[in-house]
Every structure is written in structure tokens, then in C-alpha cells.
Chain A
Amino acid sequence: MIVRFSPANMCIILAQIAVGIAALAMLALAPPAHGAMLLVPLMSDAPAARLARDSHALLLEQGPAGSLVVLGDRQTLFWPLLRAGVLAVAAPVPLCGEASDVLA
């Protein structure tokens, strides 16, 4: 039995799917409480490395597009770095290498 959805119903379904995918992405990219994180500068002159060191994080390696892979605590890194224009997210292995995986 093939059911054709009306445009309104299709919009509702797609909206809920988008909510689900966004939630899953948010869970996947949320920085861990402690472990490898990817610091993505949102502004070009954001001093990501200095701020990470000031927050007692360990610099692991250079990430893609000027980002940094660090090892640290979410509580001390996330909000201070975000106020300075640096977003801390989970460090995916394909982008950040095996170091993030091993040290995590």
C-alpha cells in the first residue's frame, strides 16, 4: 500500500527527521567531559593554542582548517574558548587522526 503524503504532512515528517538528525549530530559532536577535543576557531585571529594552554589543555596536533586537537576538560575549555571565538567539539577520528582515538 503506497501512501502519498500531503505537502503539510511531508513538511512535518521532514521537520521531525531534521530534529532527530540535529539531535544526534549534537550528541555526536558534543565535546567529551574529558578527552580529545577539536578546537575550531570561529574567527581568524582567535588565539586557540594560547587559550588551550591557559586552560591547562594538552596540545596534541594540528587539525584541519587551522583547528587544534587538544586533550583537556570540557568544563575548563568549552565556555572560555567559546567566549574567545573558539568552538570545542568532539574530535572525530577521520579528521583528527589516531591520536585522538588513542588518547581519548
Chain B
Amino acid sequence: MSSLDLLRIRAIRTLALVGWLCLPVLLIWGTAMGSPNTGLALATAALGNVIPTWMALRRRHDAAARMNFAVLAALLPATYVYLLSGMTWQMDAHMYFFVALSMLAVLCDWRPLALASVLIALHHLVLSYLLPTWVFENDGTITRVLFHALAIVLQFAALTYLTTRMRHLIVAQDKARAEGERLVAEAETERSKAVAALAATTAAEERSAHERARRKTAEARLAEERRSALIALADDFEQSVAGVAIAIEGAAATLEGSAATLTQIAADAGRQANEVAAGAAQAAGATQDVADAVHRLTDSIGEIAESADAQATLTGAVRRNAEEGKNAVLDLAARAGDIGGLVGEIHEIATRTNLLALNATIEAARAGDAGRGFAVVAGEVKQLAGGTARASDKIVTLIDSVRQGVAATETNIVGAADAVLRVATAAGDIKGAVAGQRGVAAEIERTAHEAARGVDMIEQRIARVAAVANEADTLSRHVREAAGSLSDHARRLRRSTDGFVEQLRTGEREAA
């Protein structure tokens, strides 16, 4: 915050305080003078103080705050004039307009001065027109008002010049002080830098000497440490390389033994694979034979099925023929019954004819001679009737025998039909069983073919296994040879390492 701002803040606070101090002054003065306008003067003064005081409390010092105090500066002297209205002191109270304008100068701004001057001049002009006695106690003419207004204008001009110059001076002083402070800060900074640089130089020299001494000590210690490290390195190298060489030798020996074992295992595996391949080939042939046999069995079952079909067909025909024969025998039995009925009629006719012949004979005997010839005819008729009756009896006998034959034949035919029915049922069962066996045989044949293919595949894979076993045998021989070579190299490496380490230790002892 600049000096001008601080000055304005303090000025505004002071003006606000002076504004409120006017109230007790008004009260005391009005009471002392016996003014009847004291109450209204106090009220207007308090009303005019409200907004400026509020802005002062908010630490405002901007142009708006300053303009508020300009209004207050025009109002408070007017309350004094009003307080002393009609008294001799009324004219003297006008002097406080000039006091108020002068107090505004501490705000270092010409605009509050202008506003206060305009308000003072205007309200005097207006009141001199409306209430001339209120403005001046005696003879308040416009000329006097203008004369006073000119004084206000002159004071405004003088105060404006003063405040403008004062503001410029304060601003310039602020700038100069800020520049001086900046230069002092820069000088202080440079001095601090110089002191720091000097101290840094001294410290650097001390550090350099200390560093040289420390470097010599470190070099000696490093040389010693390097020798110790080389010896330790030689020991470690010897131990590690020798250990590695020994481990390689051991690993090579183990590897060689493993290769030999692997060779043996590969040979056994090859042999067993060959045997398995041979067994698989035999199994494949046997499986194929089984498949062929099953195929033939399937063909035989097919023929059996065809025969069962033919038998079923024939059985059906026989059954139909038996049924037709049964019907024919039954028809024959019925016809025989009919013939029996006819024979009975013939026998009755013969009986009646015999009675007629007997009656004719009696009548012929009554007729005497005349009826002798008729009696002969009657006798003949009687004989014919008797012959007819005997013939009919024979026919009845024959018909009975025929009926017995028909019944026997019917019984035989029914038995034959039952037998044929059982034969047909058995043929159907055979047909179903043969169909089931045919499906099972086909499944067996398919399974046998798949088994044959599986056995072929096993044979091929076993052959590949045998080939791989042979390759493993060859590879294990190579590994065995490589392991032997590796063992030789490890032995040579250990000898070389021993020589190198011995040379290293000898060199370090000579250097020490």
C-alpha cells in the first residue's frame, strides 16, 4: 500500500471522527445560544454522517469514499448556519464552509473539493432565491451570494493546486523511496554475494589442500587394497575356477555314465519296440482275419434271414390254404346234412309208397280177378318202395360215415392251422433274432476293422519309436564322446588356472 493510500485512509478516519464530533458541538452550541433548531440540526448532521462513517469503517479510501466526505463537508457547515438562524452569529457560521473545504485537502484529490464547492455554491444560490433571510440575516442579496461563491471558487482553485502538487510529491516520494530500497537491496545482495564468494574461495582452498592430503592417503590405501584385492581375487579365482573345473569333470563323468546308461536303455527300447512292432503286425493280421470271419458270418446271417423270410411267406400261404380247406370241409359237412334231409324225404316217400302198394294190394284183392294184374303192379311197387327204403338207409349210413370223416378232417385241419401258426410265430422270432445278430455282427465287423487300423497305427508308431530309440542310441554315443572331451578340457583348464594364479601371486609379491 502506497503512502498516498495510507494518508487517505488516515484522513478519511479523521474526517469521520470530526463529523461525529460536530454533533456534541452542535448540541452544546445550540443549547448555549438557546437555538430552537438544535434538534433538527443534530438530526441532519447525524443523517449525513451515516454513509461516510460506514465507508471509513470498511477502510475504503477510493474516489467514491472521498466524494461521500465531500457531501458531508457541504452539509455540516449548513447545519451550523441553520442552528444559528436568526442570530447574529449566523453570518460567522459561514466561515466553516471554508474550514470544511480546507479539511478536504488532506484527501489529496481535487474532485471532492469540486463537488463540495459546487454543492455549497448551488444551495446558497437556491436558498438565496427561496429563503434569503435563512442565508443571510440581513440584506441577503444575490450580489453577496455571488461574492461568497467567488471566494469558494478561489479557495477551490488554491486547494486544487495544493492537493495536486501534494499528491505528485507523495507519489514521487514513494517512487524515490521504492527505488532507493531497491538499490539498497541490490547493494546488499551484491555485498552478500561478494562475502559469500570470498568465503567460498577460502573454503575451496582449504578443501583443495584437504583433498590433496586425502587423495594421497587414499591412493596409498587404494594401492594396498588393490594388492589385497588382487590376491583375494587370485584366491577366489583359483577356488572358483578350480571348483568349476572339478565340477565340470564330475559332471562330465556323470554325463558319460548317463550316456552309457542311455545307450543301453535306447538299445533295449529299440529291441522292445521291434518286438512290439512284430507283435502289432501279428495282431493286425489276426484282427483282419477276425474282421473277414465276421464279414462271412454277416453274410451267413443274411442268408438265414432270407430263408426265414421265405419260410414266413410259405407259412402264410399254408395257413391261408388250411383256412380254405377248413371252410371247404365245413361246407361239405353242410351239404352232407342236406343230403341226409333228402334221404329222409325219400325214405318217407318209400314208406308212403309201400302203404299205397299195400292198399292197392288190398283193393286188388277186393277186386278179385280184375284186380289181379293191379295186384301184381302193386307188388312191384311195394318191392320198389322197399328197395328205395333200403337204398336210402344205405345212403344215410354213408352220409354218417361222411360226416364222421368230415369232422375228423376238420379236427385235423384245425390242428394243422395251429401248427402252421406256431411255425409262423417261430419264423418271425427267428427273423427278429437274425436281424439283431446281423446288426451285432456288423458292429463287430466295424470294430474289428477299427481295431485293425489301430493296430496298424500302433505298428507305425512303434516303428517310429524304434527309429527314435536308434537315434537316441547314436546321440548318447556322441554325448559320451563329448563328455570325455569335456573332462579333458576341464583338466587342462585347472592346470592353466593353477599356472596363472601362481604367476599372479608371484608378480604381486615382487611388486610389494
Given A16-B51, A23-B48: A30 and B40 interface contact (C-beta under 8 Å): yes
CB contacts (< 8 Å) of B111 on chain A: these are 3
B404 to chain A, nearest CB (A): 150
User: Interface 1/0s, chain A 72-88, versus B by CB < 8 A?
Assistant: 00100000000000000
In the complex, the answer to whether B64 meets A101 with C-beta atoms within 8 Å is: no
In the complex, the answer to whether B36 meets A28 with C-beta atoms within 8 Å is: no
In the complex, the answer to whether B123 meets A24 with C-beta atoms within 8 Å is: yes
B170 to chain A, nearest CB (A): 15
CB contacts (< 8 Å) of B71 on chain A: these are 16-17, 19-20
Given A5-B63, A20-B75, A26-B44: A92 and B133 interface contact (C-beta under 8 Å): no
In the complex, the answer to whether A93 meets B48 with C-beta atoms within 8 Å is: no
Q: Is B78 an interface position by the 8 A CB rule?
A: yes
Q: Which residue of A lies closest to B69 (CB)?
A: A16
Complex alpha-carbon distance, A16 and B72, angstroms = 8
Q: Which of B455-501 contact A (CB under 8 A)?
A: none
User: Interface 1/0s, chain A 28-49, versus B by CB < 8 A?
Assistant: 1010110000000000000000
CB contacts (< 8 Å) of A22 on chain B: these are 47
In the complex, the answer to whether A19 meets B48 with C-beta atoms within 8 Å is: yes
In the complex, the answer to whether B74 meets A33 with C-beta atoms within 8 Å is: no
In the complex, the answer to whether B48 meets A3 with C-beta atoms within 8 Å is: no
> Chain B CB within 10 Å — which of A5, A15, A16, A19 has the most?
A16
Complex alpha-carbon distance, A20 and B123, angstroms = 10
Q: Which residue of B lies closest to A17 (CB)?
A: B71
Complex alpha-carbon distance, A15 and B54, angstroms = 13
Chain A residue total in the interface (Cβ 8 A):
27
CB contacts (< 8 Å) of A26 on chain B: these are 40, 44
Q: Which of B52-86 contact A (CB under 8 A)?
A: 52, 55, 62-64, 67-68, 71-72, 74-75, 78-79, 82, 85-86
Complex alpha-carbon distance, A4 and B52, angstroms = 20
In the complex, the answer to whether B52 meets A16 with C-beta atoms within 8 Å is: yes
Q: Is B129 an interface position by the 8 A CB rule?
A: yes
Complex alpha-carbon distance, A33 and B40, angstroms = 12
A94 to chain B, nearest CB (A): 6
Q: Which residue of B lies closest to A95 (CB)?
A: B130
Please report the number of residue pairs spanning A and B whose Cβ atoms sit closer than 8 angstroms: 80
Complex alpha-carbon distance, A12 and B51, angstroms = 8
Chain B residue total in the interface (Cβ 8 A):
35
Q: Is B132 an interface position by the 8 A CB rule?
A: yes
In the complex, the answer to whether B62 meets A9 with C-beta atoms within 8 Å is: yes
In the complex, the answer to whether A101 meets B40 with C-beta atoms within 8 Å is: no
Q: Is B131 an interface position by the 8 A CB rule?
A: yes
Q: Is B274 an interface position by the 8 A CB rule?
A: no
Given A17-B71, A20-B71: A90 and B51 interface contact (C-beta under 8 Å): no
Q: Is B98 an interface position by the 8 A CB rule?
A: no
In the complex, the answer to whether B40 meets A20 with C-beta atoms within 8 Å is: no
Complex alpha-carbon distance, A58 and B123, angstroms = 30
CB contacts (< 8 Å) of B51 on chain A: these are 12, 15-16, 19
Q: Is B155 an interface position by the 8 A CB rule?
A: no
User: Interface 1/0s, chain B 79-106, versus A by CB < 8 A?
Assistant: 1001001100000000000000000000
CB contacts (< 8 Å) of A15 on chain B: these are 51
In the complex, the answer to whether B78 meets A93 with C-beta atoms within 8 Å is: no
Complex alpha-carbon distance, A27 and B52, angstroms = 20
CB-based closest 4 A-B pairs: A9-B64, A33-B36, A23-B44, A92-B130
Residues in B lying within 8 Å of A, measured CB to CB: 36-37, 40-41, 44, 47-48, 50-52, 55, 62-64, 67-68, 71-72, 74-75, 78-79, 82, 85-86, 111, 119, 123, 127, 129-134
Given contacts A17-B119, A27-B41, A92-B131, 9 further A-B contacts (CB under 8 A): A12-B64, A13-B64, A22-B47, A23-B44, A24-B123, A28-B127, A30-B37, A30-B40, A94-B130
Give me 13 A-to-B residue pairs in the complex whose CB atoms sit less than 8 angstroms apart, sorted by A's number.
Answer: A5-B64, A9-B62, A12-B55, A13-B68, A15-B51, A16-B67, A17-B71, A19-B71, A23-B44, A28-B127, A30-B40, A33-B37, A74-B36
Residues in A lying within 8 Å of B, measured CB to CB: 3, 5, 9-10, 12-13, 15-17, 19-20, 22-24, 26-28, 30, 32-33, 74, 90, 92-94, 101, 104
